[in-house]
Chains A and B, each alone.
Chain A
Amino acid sequence: MANQAFPRPQLTGQPVSQKTTVEPKTRPLPLMPSSSGEVADRLFGFAMLTCAVAILGLLVLIVYELVGRSQLSWHAFGWKFFAGRDWNPVEEHFGALPFIYGTLVSSLLALIIAVPLAVGVAVFTTEMCPKWLRGPLSFTTELLAAIPSVIYGLWAIFVLVPLLRQYVQPFLARTLGWTGLFEGPPYGIGMLAAGIILAIMIVPIISSITREVLMVVPQHQREGVLALGATRWEMIRIGVLRNARAGILGGVILGLGRALGETMAVTMVIGNRPEIARSLFAPGYTMASVIANEFSEATGDVYLSALIEIGLALFLVTIVVNALARLMVWSVTRGLPARAHV
């Protein structure tokens, strides 16, 4: 196409890549593949645009379907749906509070366990360990992310839960029973098991984002702190972590988003009982797992609609959480790193 411009010197000053669309009306030169190339270009551009718009369309479709199909439940219960504690499919009375509670508590528990571990791993791999160990270590942590959720669940049922029941829960009840968080019969299955398996699952995402963020902290920041006589740990604390905290927080929130929506592993170990209990030993239920368990057996339109409304709520929460996390990570990795320590 660029050859078309060749006999017309006044156009040669323009960048090459723009010339393809410069002159639609000139007669094609004998050597050129006629205007069919231009039609093909248009068609190709349009096809690619369609693909891109399809992504937008998918999101619209998700919102449309979720909102549309949850109307029945919305009209029946309104805001009280999210405050009601009663989940009774027989009398068609639905309240989602036990599920919201279960989702929040299991995710927060997972964060409490996972964040120190993930940040520790990230700091160790980027700042402390010898160079040859770096690649293998980050690869193995990423491997944790490749294990399917259902396999985590399987492992949790047959290894983690018996372990909790026999050793960990009796120990916790003896030492920390007075807090009220660790009392009741040690079933193994319950909120604690769900929190632990979730923690194992979200460590890779938090640590990989933290590592990414730590790596964009400028090298002279580290050198400067070291030059003032700091030890390595002081250098990491003052020169690295303080600069990267917005990004690390973003990674943590991204992990939270993952934990909120996680379904299979949690469904397999949380016990699936719609109750609100203070003790972490007690069984619970999450928003995602109630959908997984009851959706295909939901008889009655209101029942189905109530489940879809839970799905809509879960969708909205994860979108807000994810958008927030992306913005925070971007503020560190894309913006000026120096800005973060103000």
Chain B
Amino acid sequence: MSERSSNSVAQSSLLRISLWRRFTDCFATSVAALTVVLVLLPLGAIFAYLVYRGIGSINWAFLTQTPKPVGEAGGGMANAIGGSVLILGIASLLGVPFGIGAGIYLAEYGRNRFGDIIRFTSDVLNGVPSIVIGIVAYSVVVLRQKHFSAVAGGFALAIMMVPTITRTTEEMLLLVPQSIREAAYGLGVPRWRTTLSITLRTATSGVITGVMLAFARVAGETAPLLFTAFGNQYWNLNVNQSTAALPLQIFTYAISPFDEWHRQAWAGALVLIVLIVGAVAAVRIAVRRGALAGANN
């Protein structure tokens, strides 16, 4: 439509002005296209460099061994990968039920002033810097336990997961038509059963997507783990001990002066990105195929 209008102006007698205007139009379009290039450039650069530096360093030893002392070549990040899985597991266990529960409350019971307060609180919580959440987890868990632990790290990440899960769950539940709920009530199904087996089930794929978004967001978080999970050079699966995590290990290695550690940091970063993107993509595909119960809406 826009081409047609500028063409017709061009043919009219106002040629002098319209030349200038057409030039401005072209100029603005090219500037906008240029910004897109400028934004995509670092994205491409980061991924390309990540693969370029990381792929050569990923081998079996990297995935199965614990770090070697400084100066010795080899060793890997197995403990960090395991630790990340442990911490993320704890975080999901703590955060997902609360997030979904709060989402259900907002969608099914919270169409009122109190619901608005919760909604706003959850948005505010979403904006709290991760390092501040780390401080809170430190003073709530670490100071009481008197030592760093995987639980403290999981607690911090759980706090960060809740707001995202809550808001997406609410949004997804609201998409479920009211008539479906009323049909269930009409059949004599109690409200709790309707919510769980009808509404939530219809919205499963959306809710899971929300959970995965929250998961992907916290999987790469480093700041809240610095003084909660703290990091560890050895294997640890005890939830009450300080635990290594992939992002933490990448950070430690990246700011170290050793080339061997830099190499491993790139490999770790590649593994982390693959884990995050892989987890999200896997769930997306599973949901789309309807492999998960109730996802076929």
Contact = CB atoms under 8 A, between A and B. Distances in A.
Nearest to B226: A292
A158 B52 CA distance: 13
B39 A1 contact: no
A143 B271 CA distance: 16
Nearest to B44: A140
Contacts of B126: 322
A37 B188 CA distance: 10
Contact of A268 (B98, B163, B251): B251
Interface of B: 1-2, 5-6, 9, 21-22, 24-25, 27-29, 31-36, 38-40, 42-43, 45-46, 49-50, 53, 97-102, 104-106, 108-110, 115, 117-118, 120-136, 138-140, 159, 162-163, 166, 181-182, 185-193, 195-196, 216, 219-223, 226-227, 230, 247, 250-251, 254-255, 262, 265-266, 269, 272-273, 276-277, 280
Contact of B49 (A40, A120, A155): A155
Interface stretch (A12-20, A85-93, A170-178, A244-252): A12-20
A260 interface: yes
Q: How large is the interface on A (under 10, 10 to 19, 20 to 34, 35 or more residues)?
A: 35 or more
A148 B98 contact: no
A311 B135 CA distance: 8
B136 A66 contact: yes
Interface in A30-74: 32-33, 37-38, 40-41, 43-45, 47-56, 58-59, 61-62, 65-66, 69
Contact of B254 (A49, A157, A203, A322): A157
Given A3-B188, A32-B188, A151 B220 contact: yes
A123 B32 contact: yes
B122 A200 contact: no
Instruction: State the 10 A-B residue pairs at the shortest beta-carbon distance, nearest first.
Output: A148-B220, A261-B129, A51-B101, A120-B35, A44-B192, A322-B127, A232-B2, A233-B28, A37-B190, A124-B32
Q: Which of A32, A119, A234, A254 has the most CB of B within 10 A?
A: A234
A32 B265 CA distance: 63
A20 B130 contact: no
Contacts of B35: 116-121, 124
A234 B102 contact: no
A126 B167 CA distance: 25
B121 A59 contact: yes
A226 B5 contact: yes
A332 interface: no
A292 B247 CA distance: 14
A44 B97 contact: no
A310 B182 CA distance: 52
Contacts of A128: 29, 32-33
B124 A44 contact: no
A17 B136 contact: no
Contact of A45 (B33, B42, B102, B109): B109
A301 to B, nearest CB: 12
A52 B106 contact: yes
Contacts of B129: 260-263, 288, 314-315, 318
> Is chain B's binding surface mostly helix, strand, loop or mixed?
helix
A144 B39 contact: yes
A319 interface: yes
A30 B210 CA distance: 42
B185 A19 contact: yes
A80 interface: no
A117 B39 contact: yes
B28 A236 contact: yes
Interface of A: 1-3, 16-17, 19-20, 32-33, 37-38, 40-41, 43-45, 47-56, 58-59, 61-62, 65-66, 69, 116-121, 123-125, 128-129, 137, 140-141, 143-144, 146-155, 157-159, 200, 203, 207, 226, 229-237, 254, 257-258, 260-264, 268, 288, 291-292, 295-296, 307-308, 311, 314-315, 318-319, 321-323, 326
Given A40-B192, A291-B135, A154 B266 contact: yes
20 contacts: A17-B182, A20-B190, A32-B188, A33-B190, A48-B104, A48-B109, A51-B104, A55-B166, A61-B136, A62-B136, A65-B139, A65-B140, A117-B39, A144-B43, A150-B251, A151-B272, A152-B46, A159-B49, A231-B25, A233-B29
Contacts of B216: 146
A231 B5 contact: yes
Given A121-B35, A152-B46, A232-B6, A261 B139 contact: no
A231 B21 contact: yes
A58 B254 contact: no
A3 B62 CA distance: 64
A251 to B, nearest CB: 13
B52 to A, nearest CB: 10
A45 to B, nearest CB: 6
Contacts of A314: 129, 131-132
Contacts of A291: 131, 134-135
B131 A148 contact: no
Given A140-B43, A151-B50, A154-B266, A124 B33 contact: yes
B116 to A, nearest CB: 11
B163 to A, nearest CB: 7
Contacts of B189: 1
A1 to B, nearest CB: 6
Contacts of A51: 97-102, 104-105
Contact of B5 (A17, A144, A148, A229): A229
B192 A149 contact: no
A149 B291 CA distance: 33
Nearest to A42: B192
Contacts of B220: 147-151
